[in-house]
């Protein structure tokens, strides 16, 4: 089964921060999980390189927009191996192949009669690259997203997209597909926007040269959002040399994105696709914002403009990549806003990663080494422990099908805790003292090894590097989801050396 998942493409007018990493890791978790199910996965991320903000920053720095884009796209590219993301392709919208495909699709929108030329006047935020509607204008004509940024009064001849004619088709789409946008609160928000009445939107910019040229009117470039959204579709036509993957992977299964760009994805995007006779994506998964919690406990949005950016590189240098991946999705419920801080990061690292999980694994392997010469006893698993793992694979899959990434992790972690209790209940170090209960010790060690293996297979999407190390030490490299069942693998394997998974940070 084909599974196509995307992240938003990130603006190259600034360097990546933890917020960007968060979305990308979220999509990576889903991609890895679906690979475990044996599906044919295609995972796309990339950079959004056109538009006013990029042109402005480049001008301020005295370089060309392309030079700026090349430099900053590289920073987003460099982030990917650091956060261990398994994307299949990285699209850059300045790629001529993307441009050609955008022109093709937009020409179809034009030929289908969905565009017209008119004069446009309105309040425009140069940082959002977006004209603002009445409710979106802050005090003194400022941007409500980039708080304090003055809006420009803009007036120019523009091409318009007849968004208004898609009001009814969009209502029907929402009625037929109650899970088109998740979570439900975001579905309701998008639907309320549609029900509020849709106005036509400006499709091109006459003043700007940095963008994709409008094929039927020289001197205009497409408004950056049209060119950007189309990346999800265009990439499939050139991501793999000599192959067009569109047939296989379109429509996308999931677009993963933050709540800030809901309107573009949940309203404009399906309308644009309908206008071009292209199928709309299956689902859009909207997550909240990571907020920085300062020493007083106050929270604020992490962004370039507020200057409180948590640098993912620094975090990973100190705690490792998997710790960052784990923490973000453990601490902040996917779909909601939530605070992150170095304090709670340190606490979770210590108590959950180092103790609950790392210690459990190292103790278990050490006991198998000491009491059974490094061989997992070849006996059945403990029938008293087994029911606590029943249905776990199904629960995790169902939760991930609803993009409940944090909930799914919580279900897995409940089993990690259960295994810790099991060690205490069984006290293998006591059993080891008495030859008469040798078979009890066998069952205990075997059940612990098997339990750790099962949770680790399920943790692979969240912490791929840790999972690989631990499974290697258990002599069990299998990652298929089915193998995550407790008792799915036989005993008798030889355990190896386990490096310390979560050392004390320097």
Compare residues 76 and 123 and give the one whose CB is closer to ligand MSP.
76
Q: How far is it, in rounded angstroms, from Cα 237 to Cα 469?
A: 37
- Cβ of residue 347: shortest distance to ligand MSP, in angstroms? 21
CA distance 91 to 231: 7
Tell me the C-alpha to C-alpha distance, in Å, between residue 336 and each of 36, 291, 339: 26, 11, 10
End-to-end Cα, the chain, rounded Å: 44
Active-site choice (34, 99, 114, 125): 125
Of the candidates 462, 270, 256, the one whose C-alpha atom is nearest the C-alpha of residue 353 is 462
Q: Which of 33, 50, 146, 287 is catalytic?
A: 146
Q: Quick check: is 125 catalytic?
A: yes
Measured from the CB atom, is 300 or 500 closer to ligand MSP? 300
Is 229 or 467 the residue whose CB approaches ligand MSP more closely?
229
Q: 128, 132, 287, 469: which is the annotated catalytic residue?
A: 128
Q: Output 33 or 98, the one with its CB closest to ligand MSP.
A: 98
Residue 304 appears among annotated catalytic residues: yes
Provide the minimum distance between the beta carbon of 230 and ligand MSP in the complex, in angstroms, as a whole number: 8
Nearer to ligand MSP (CB atom), residue 11 or residue 327: 11
Catalytic residue among 171, 259, 301, 318: 301
Quick one: which of 51, 428, 16 has its CA closest to 210? 51
Nearest approach, Cβ of 228 to ligand MSP (angstroms)?
Answer: 4
Distance (Å, whole) CA 109 – CA 111 = 6
Residues of the shown chain interacting with ligand MSP in the complex, contacts defined by CB under 6 A: 8-11, 19-20, 22-23, 48, 228-229, 231, 257-258, 260-261, 289-290, 301-302
d(CA 195, CA 62): 45
Q: How far is the CB of 287 from ligand MSP (least distance, A)?
A: 7
- Residue 195: CB atoms within 10 A of its CB come to 13
Q: What is the CA radius of gyration of the chain?
A: 26
Residue 102, both tokens: 């955008």
Minimal distance in Å, beta carbon 5 to ligand MSP? 13
Minimum Å distance from CB 387 to ligand MSP?
Answer: 38
146 in catalytic set = yes
How far apart are alpha carbons 219 and 204 in whole angstroms?
10
CA distance 284 to 96: 27
Q: Which of 171, 259, 304, 318 is catalytic?
A: 304
The C-alpha atoms of residue 29 and residue 461 are separated, in whole angstroms, by: 5
Question: Which residue, 337 or 440, has its beta carbon nearer to ligand MSP?
Answer: 337
- Is 263 a catalytic site residue? no
Show the tokens assigned to 454. Answer: 């099962």
Q: Which of 143, 220, 460, 469 is catalytic?
A: 143
Which region holds residue 450: left if phi is over 0, alpha if psi is between -120 and 50, else beta?
alpha
Residue 305 tokens, joined: 């403009």
Sequence-ordered list of residues with C-beta below 8 angstroms from that of 230, at least 6 positions apart, any chain: 98, 101, 102, 105, 106, 272
What is the Cα–Cα distance from 224 to 288, expressed in whole angstroms?
A: 23
Q: Quick one: 27 or 365, whose CB is closer to ligand MSP?
A: 27
Comparing CB distances to ligand MSP, the nearer of 260 and 356 is: 260
CB closest to ligand MSP, residue no: 19
Q: Is 301 a catalytic residue?
A: yes
Cβ neighbours around 206 below 10 Å, total? 15
Closest distance of CB 22 from ligand MSP, Å: 5
Residue 303: CB minimum distance to ligand MSP, A: 6
Please state, in angstroms and rounded to a whole number, the distance separating the CA atoms of residues 266 and 177: 12
Per the omega criterion (within 30 degrees of 0), is the bond before 251 cis? yes
Please list the active-site residues. Answer: 17, 20, 125, 128, 143, 146, 301, 304
């Amino acid at each position: 089964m084909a599974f196509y998942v995307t992240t938003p493409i990130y603006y190259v007018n600034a360097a990546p921060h933890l917020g960007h990493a968060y979305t990308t890791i979220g999509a990576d978790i889903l991609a890895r999980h679906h690979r475990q199910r044996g599906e044919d996965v295609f995972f796309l991320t990339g950079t959004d390189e056109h538009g006013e903000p990029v042109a402005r920053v480049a001008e301020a720095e005295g370089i060309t927009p392309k030079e700026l884009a090349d430099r900053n796209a590289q920073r987003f590219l460099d982030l990917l191996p650091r956060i261990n993301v398994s994307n299949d392709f990285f699209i850059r919208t300045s790629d001529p192949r993307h441009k050609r495909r955008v022109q093709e699709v937009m020409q179809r929108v034009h030929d289908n009669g969905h565009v017209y030329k008119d004069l446009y006047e309105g309040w425009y935020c140069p940082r959002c690259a977006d004209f603002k509607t009445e409710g979106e204008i802050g005090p003194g004509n400022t941007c409500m997203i980039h708080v304090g940024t003055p809006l420009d009064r803009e007036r120019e001849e523009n091409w318009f997209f007849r968004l208004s004619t898609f009001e009814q088709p969009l209502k029907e789409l929402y009625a037929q597909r109650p899970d088109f946008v998740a979570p439900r609160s975001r579905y309701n928000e998008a639907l309320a926007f549609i029900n509020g009445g849709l106005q036509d939107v400006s499709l091109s910019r006459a003043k700007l040269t940095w963008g994709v040229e409008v094929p039927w009117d020289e001197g205009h470039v497409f408004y950056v959002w049209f060119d950007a959204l189309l990346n999800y579709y265009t990439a499939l036509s050139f991501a793999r040399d000599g192959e067009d993957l569109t047939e296989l992977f379109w429509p996308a299964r999931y677009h993963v994105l933050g709540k800030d760009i809901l309107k573009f994805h949940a309203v404009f995007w399906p309308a644009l696709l309908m206008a071009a006779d292209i199928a709309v994506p299956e689902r859009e998964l909207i997550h909240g914002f990571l907020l920085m919690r300062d020493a007083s406990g106050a929270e604020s949005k992490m962004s370039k403009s507020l200057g409180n950016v948590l640098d993912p590189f620094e975090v990973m240098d100190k705690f490792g990549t998997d710790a960052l991946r784990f923490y973000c999705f453990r601490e902040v419920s996917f779909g909601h806003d939530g605070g992150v801080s170095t304090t709670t990061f340190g606490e979770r690292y210590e108590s959950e990663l180092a103790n609950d999980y790392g210690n459990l694994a190292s103790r278990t392997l050490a006991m198998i080494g000491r009491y059974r010469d490094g061989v997992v006893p070849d006996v059945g698993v403990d029938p008293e422990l087994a029911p606590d793992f029943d249905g776990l694979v199904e629960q995790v899959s169902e939760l991930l099908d609803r993009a409940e990434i944090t909930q799914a992790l919580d279900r897995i972690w409940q089993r990690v805790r259960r295994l810790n209790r099991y060690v205490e209940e069984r006290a293998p170090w006591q059993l080891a003292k008495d030859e008469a209960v040798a078979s009890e010790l066998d069952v205990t060690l075997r059940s612990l090894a098997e339990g750790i293996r099962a949770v680790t297979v399920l943790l692979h999407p969240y912490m791929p590097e840790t999972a690989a190390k631990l499974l290697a030490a258990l002599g069990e490299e299998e990652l298929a989801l089915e193998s995550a069942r407790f008792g799915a693998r036989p005993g008798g394997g030889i355990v190896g050396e386990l490096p310390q998974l979560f050392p004390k940070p320097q």
